[in-house]
Amino acid sequence: MAHLLLLSSPLSISLCFFAWLQGFVVVHGNTNLTHSSFTPINRNLYHSSGDLMEEIKALVFRHPDRLTFDTIKSRNKGYSAEIAVVTYCRRRQETDDRPKFRILLSFGQHGRELITSELALRILSILSKEQFLPNLDPASLDHTLDKLLIKMVPMENINGRRIVEAGDLCERRNGRGVDLNRNWSVDWGKKEKDYDPYEENPGTAPFSEPETQIMRKVAMSFDPHIWVNIHSGMEALFMPYDHKNTTPDGVSSHQMKSLLEELNHLHCQRRCMIGSGGGSVGYLAHGTATDYMFDIVRVPMAFTFEIYGDGAASSRDCFKMFNPTDFGTFNRVLNEWSAAFFTIFKLGPNQLGENYSKTSVPTLDKWVSIDEYLDGYLVERSSRYGKKMEVLELGMQEIRTYFRLFLLSSVLLLFMFCSRISKGKCARPIVSAIAL
Ligand SMILES: [Zn+2]
């Protein structure tokens, strides 16, 4: 009774109002807290995608003697993509590029892994001698780089990256929701029990995505000795396979493993996980770029590197989970991993032995299928800073394909012609011989 009286009094109404107000402040305050617990992109450390590409273009423009820049475009069902490829070749005017040791590196295949594209810029700055690595003798570096032809894709998934920059910090897929590291043809489309379409959508078919089509063409025409797909989310050095829990048999498997062990020792303080992607990461991945590079393009050393991960970050705090957020860690990661790539540049050719030239590989398994050849017409190439060698190479490739088609049809025609003659001329004497 006393309680009822109290509740109905003006004092109790005021108390209730204050209690409600307090509740409102707490709820509102919690919302703010939750919102601010997602780390935003640190714009003091990271370039925007536009600024990063402009910086790379300017770098290439300042070093035309060793760097070239190409943009390759492709389009499929109303969705278009373009990929920039930077080629490094010291003294490129003086020598033919065929005998060189070819390395293909791709960064930023997943939109949210911003740190990887920053690493691409750092490596290019060191290659053009605008930045330097400690403990690296310039003369021995020049000697190493003379042997190499390096192609780098600084930002494979620029459409996905733009979605991340617009605020969806957890997006890893391309501009229309396909995971570019599940869209390749080796074991494509197989789904594990924990399959999450938000993370791993493989697309409607292998190579349904323009980005993957472009990358396949770059890899097929360049025919690299080393491929590295650079990611973040953990610290690891992976080799094939991603789609099964084993590493390949044979010599190149040992060569890959020993190079990874050396890198782990020199640059990762043995922290990095090593082994097959499928066997080490805790899940199998189907339709990945590295499995395709190893199995189909026959790249003797095909890797996936994971250069940084914050395992303690909340799984919804994606920027923090995949990218360093403070200046010290940001620089440490870039220094350690750029040094790791220069170790690959040095050790890679030795590891494969002096007879690394893949030109001796029979050309039969390098024949471009009709499908791929026609597909080539969908790709638009534009050259920005002097690119005569490659245009010539592409032209020669087309001429070679025409020549093969011509040879094949000539052989068929000759065969048909001969079989008609033999029916017409040779048949009669045989019949008469039997009659005799
Ligand atoms: Zn990734």
pLDDT of residue 279: 85
- Sequence-distant contacts of 32-38: CB under 8 A, at least 24 apart: 37/314, 37/317, 38/169, 38/316, 38/317, 38/319
Task: Take residue 368 and report the two structure tokens written for it.
Answer: 């471009």
Q: pLDDT tens digits, residue range 115-140? A: 999 999 999 999 999 999 988 888 88
Residues 198 and 236 in one domain: yes
- For position 88, what pLDDT does the model report? 97
Q: Are residues 264 and 275 in the same domain?
A: yes
Residues 320 and 414 in one domain: no
Distance 173 CA to ligand 1 centre (A): 9
Q: Where are the beta strands (DSSP E) in 217-368?
A: 226-231, 234-239, 273-276, 301-308
Tokens of 312: 């303690």
Residue 186 tokens read as 């080796």
Residue 291: inside a domain: yes
Q: Is 211 helix (H, G, I), strand (E, B) or coil?
A: helix
Confidence of residue 379 (pLDDT cuts 50, 70, 90): very low
Q: How far is the CA of 267 from the centre of ligand 1 (A)?
A: 20
- Domain check: are 130 and 148 in the same one? yes
100-120 mean pLDDT: 97
Question: What six digits make up the tokens of 226?
Answer: 């080393």
Q: With cut-offs at 50, 70 and 90, classify the pLDDT of residue 32.
A: very low
Tell me, yes or no, whether 166 lies in a domain: yes
pLDDT at 28 over 70: no
Q: Please report whether residue 263 resides in a domain.
A: yes
How many domains are there within the chain? 2
Alpha carbon of 68 to ligand 1 centroid (Å): 27
Reported confidence tier of residue 90, pLDDT bands at 50, 70, 90: confident
Flag whether 41 is in a domain.
no
pLDDT range class, residue 169, cuts 50, 70, 90:
very high
pLDDT in tens, 288-303: 999 999 999 999 999 9
Q: What is the model's pLDDT at position 282?
A: 83
Report the half-sphere exposure of 321 (CA within 13 A, side-chain side): 15
Number of CB atoms found within 10 A of residue 192's CB: 11
How far, in Å, from the CA of 291 to the mean position of ligand 1?
Answer: 15
Range of the domain at 392: 387-431
Cα separation, 72 vs 91, in Å, equals: 24
The reply to whether 352 and 261 lie within a common domain is: yes
- C-alpha 179 to ligand 1 mean position (Å): 9
**Mean pLDDT, all residues of the chain:** 81
Say whether 306 is catalytic: yes
User: What CA–CA distance (Å, rounded) separates 97 from 29?
Assistant: 62
Residue from 118, 235, 306, 390 carrying the catalytic annotation: 306
**241 preceded by cis ω (within 30°)?**
yes
